[in-house]
Structure 1
Amino acid sequence: MDRAQKQEAIETLKGVFSSSGAVVVTHYLGLTVAEMTDLRGRLREQGAQLKVVKNTLAQKALGDQAGDGVTTLFKGPVAIAFAPDPVSAAKVATQYAKDNDKFSVVGGLMGEQVLDKASVTALASLPSLDQLRGKLIGLIQAPATRIAGILQAPAGQLARVMNAYATKDAA
């Protein structure tokens, strides 16, 4: 890799670190190509990506942004999982680490904060952005449906009373 390619890779990684909600740092030693392809497919379904990175290039891309905690994350064969949504990459990576003992979550980065393995696991247990949006819409719609039911109740009662008088007179 020549100097221009390294500079381009550093700029790409800077873009990844700045635009991602969270970056999950993982070790993948011993994974086969089929297992890596499976992991990439699972991440892609959730809108996330997996990228194998060189440790020195990742540290240069981060610079002094995250401090000394970054150097402990980027040791050994490292791949980063990232997505605009902070939760999706962490969920898939944590679940895959549970299913496959060759793959492990080392930690992560969220903005300028360095996350340890426990923090990434806690992040993975949070609901995704789409799930939160669904819950919020459900909470907003619930009072509206109750109000509509309350407003319709008197009209329905009046209709039942009129029907009762009509059937009483007919009988």
Structure 2
Amino acid sequence: MSLNRSEKEAVINEVSGLAAKAQTLVIAEYRGITVADMTKLRSTARSQGVSLSVLKNTLARRAVTGTSFDVVADQMTGPLIYGFSEDAVAAAKVVADFAKTNDKLVIRAGAYGGKALDVNGVKALASIPSKEVLLSQFLGLLQSPVARTARVLAALAEKRGEAAAA
């Protein structure tokens, strides 16, 4: 079913809006995936804040023209699913995790920070811990010296207390 001109413009505007807010785009070929698996992928993506869309490639190319995702316009051929995310790693993580369990989903390319990513680049981006995990690790590093100093001072005070009691 073909779209009329106003419907195409609406799709382009919607995808352009997604691209303007997103940090990451992941493109994957979905040929042969069952409807049930695709529904599961979409549900997982939605819960992670990733917008997954099956788009006409010409409309997708027009929508990303002039954005940081323009670098992967040449990869937009064939039956593709497009994943946009505001979180830098969410789209890559959702698609890569699903591709591990379903060999029919083939990661084609991605873009982050105005740079095109190949399959290995998308997988590397997916392996980065989430923002919350990185912040908790950073907080642990900041607390470590303070906690060590407190333990040393407590041990020193305990030792002086034992020396004074004797």
Who wins on radius of gyration, i.e. which is larger?
1
Residue type at the aligned position of 1:118? N
CA distance in 2, matches of 1:52, 1:12: 13
Aligned residue in 2 for 1:88: 90
Residue type at the aligned position of 1:23? L
CA distance in 2, matches of 1:83, 1:67: 16
Structure 2: stretches of 5+ with no match in the other structure: none
CA distance in 2, matches of 1:41, 1:64: 30
1:20 matched to 2:22? The reply is yes
How do residues 1-171 of structure 1 correspond to structure 2 at under 5 angstroms? Answer: 1-65=3-67, 69-71=72-74, 73-162=75-164, 165=166
Q: Is the 8 A contact 2:29 2:106 kept in 1?
A: yes
Shift of 1:139: 0.5
CA distance in 1, matches of 2:111, 2:155: 54
CA distance in 2, matches of 1:98, 1:117: 13
> TM-score, normalised to structure 2's length?
0.87
Q: Is the 8 A contact 2:72 2:110 kept in 1?
A: no
Aligned length: 163
Structure 2 counterpart SS, 1:102:
coil
CA distance in 2, matches of 1:86, 1:136: 18
CA distance in 2, matches of 1:74, 1:87: 21
Residue type at the aligned position of 2:47? E
Q: Percent identity?
A: 37
Q: Deviations over 1:20-65 (max 9, x none)?
A: 1211001111212210111122223333231111111110012254
Residue type at the aligned position of 1:34? A
Shift of 1:137: 0.7
Structure 1: stretches of 5+ with no match in the other structure: 166-171
Residue type at the aligned position of 1:16? L
User: Which region of structure 1 is more displaced relative to structure 2, 98-107 or 145-154?
Assistant: 145-154
Structure 1 residues 154 and 36, CA gap change in structure 2 (3 angstroms): same
CA distance in 2, matches of 1:6, 1:74: 17
Shift of 1:96: 1.3
Q: What's the Cα RMSD here?
A: 1.9
Q: Deviations over 1:101-125 (max 9, x none)?
A: 2111100122322222121112112
Structure 2 counterpart SS, 1:94:
helix
Residue type at the aligned position of 1:105? I
Aligned residue in 2 for 1:168: none
> TM-score, normalised to structure 1's length?
0.84
Shift of 1:162: 4.6
